[in-house]
Amino acid sequence: MRSAVYFIIIFFTLAAVGCARLDGVPEGTYTTDNFYKTEADAVSAVNAVYSGLTSSYLYNQFMEVIQSQGTDDCEWGFGRNTSNTDKTALDKFNFDAGTNLFYQFWSTSYQVINRANAAVENIGAMTAVGTEKKKRMQGEARFVRGLMYFNLVRLFGGVPLLLQPTTSLDNLAIKRSSAEEIYAQIIADFRFGEENLPETYDAVNAGRATSGAAMAMLVKTYLTRKEYTKAVEEARKVMALGRYSLWPSYQDVFLIANENKTESIFEVQFLSGSGNIPSSYAGFYRPSFDKRPGFGGNGDNPVTKNHYDAYTEGDLRKDVNVIKYSYTTDPKAPATIKNPYYVAKFKDPAALNVNDGGNNYYIVRYADVLLMFAEALYMSSPGSAEALEAFNQVRRRAYGLPLNAPSARDLAGGLSAAAFQDSVLKERRLEFAFEGQRRFDLLRTGKLKQAMNAQDPTITVRESDTLFPIPSQEMDTNPLLEQNLGY
């Protein structure tokens, strides 16, 4: 889903705000009655759903801020500029319902949900698209909708459940549905995708949601809910497809040339250059004093010493994930910065400026499925050799070893279920560093407070901090909402 589809995304976005189309519809008059006429219209509607994921308030920055800055992996301070009050509040667990970051994340998520709802409803009523293709496109929209609700329920708990597009300003006050109701809809959306999406696409449409992506997200959903038997069942389906495998080298996973291949199951698509939708991560992570290739970065989400020290000798992921700058070599880190560690994972040597980059953002990849399978299987069948082997394939790759041959780096058997889960949690921290996984993993395992205390015992994490507050802007406009406890 590269250049051709990006044109469609941009076209649909412009059309929605009032540009004339070639068929002569007047500017500013696009409605469901005159837009959903052709198959191309349906494709544009679905592409607009995907394009919402590229917002800086979702996967082009804020999701990563929430997952890393608000955990033990990244931190502000220690000689760095902390003028961004929202990120500092998240970092120090001083956030409240007025923290604007939450409102932007919440509102943008619902904008994407509304696009998905519109696509599902209107494509379903079209006569110009065949039944099989309609279900495929509805499956794509429902996959993204399920992803949005999955994020919201894990971060905020029960939220308003909207399944029809908003078409007026009437009756917008809606109660929160329970977390169970949200999860039921998430599972239904991913299940629909599993049953109606193709296993693969042609090169032009690479990056669209597939049946394998829906299965992988079901694994993640069931694991979050501790429904281990169901998670194992879905993971086996993904593995049985035979379409995914680990890259031999960890570094290969993050090369722009390798996007949407081999290990990739679903990525948010970015494309550098003028007129496209670029990723901001290459410049977002690199500090301002590092002006390669010609411009400095923002230095966001600086890495903790706690994370840097978590790698053992020989773990090749360390240098891919983290760069340690020196006070004495070029580029020089200011001596005022106590821990000069920054994210190294997303790089684009061809980036034009600090906001440009072609790095896609992983939502789920095959290593994730292997580790989720290992955890779910071991938790339901402690001592499972099959679970250990799935875990050890990921670990062997980290040390540059053959994937399928036993090694001295392997995790030994005989662990309790709790000890094995702790091992998986650490492995996931290193394998998926700065890929939007850490907070969700800590919440799922109940280790958020423990991890933060180990990283910085001066930070107070309350029990209520396992859920974010409902944004005050939403509370003010929707009188039916109830705030989470503690806020």
pLDDT for residue 12: 40
pLDDT for residue 32: 59
pLDDT digits (tens, 9 = 90+) for 196-219: 999 999 999 999 999 999 999 999
Alpha-carbon gap, residue 485 to 318, rounded angstroms? 38
pLDDT digits (tens, 9 = 90+) for 42-97: 999 999 999 999 999 999 999 999 999 899 999 988 888 778 889 999 999 999 99
* Of the candidates 282, 285, 292, the residue with the CA atom closest to the CA atom of residue 331: 292
pLDDT for residue 29: 40
> At 264, phi and psi to the nearest 5?
-70, 130
Which tokens is 449 given?
Answer: 């407070």
pLDDT digits (tens, 9 = 90+) for 341-362: 999 999 898 888 999 999 999 9
What is the band of 23 on the pLDDT scale with cuts at 50, 70, 90?
very low
Helical residues (DSSP H) of 286-384, grouped into ranges = 305-308, 317-321, 366-380
pLDDT for residue 1: 54
pLDDT for residue 31: 57
pLDDT for residue 295: 87
Q: Concatenate the DSSP letters of all residues of 108-136 into one string.
A: HHHHHHHHHHHHHHHHHT-SSS-HHHHHH
Domains of the chain: 1-197+470-487 (1.25.40.390), 201-268+360-456 (1.25.40.390), 270-349 (no CATH)
Alpha-carbon gap, residue 115 to 217, rounded angstroms? 20
Q: If DSSP codes are grouped into helix, strand and coil, which group holds residue 265?
A: strand
pLDDT for residue 7: 30
| Burial label, 9 (beta-carbon count in 10 A; 0-12, 13-18, 19+) | buried
Number of C-beta neighbours around residue 381 at 10 A: 15
Q: Please state, for a pLDDT cut of 90, what percent of the chain lies above it.
A: 81
| Burial label, 270 (beta-carbon count in 10 A; 0-12, 13-18, 19+) | buried
DSSP annotation of 30: -
Q: Concatenate the DSSP letters of all residues of 359-415 into one string.
A: --EEEEEHHHHHHHHHHHHHHHSTT-HHHHHHHHHHHHHHTT--TTS--TTSPPS--
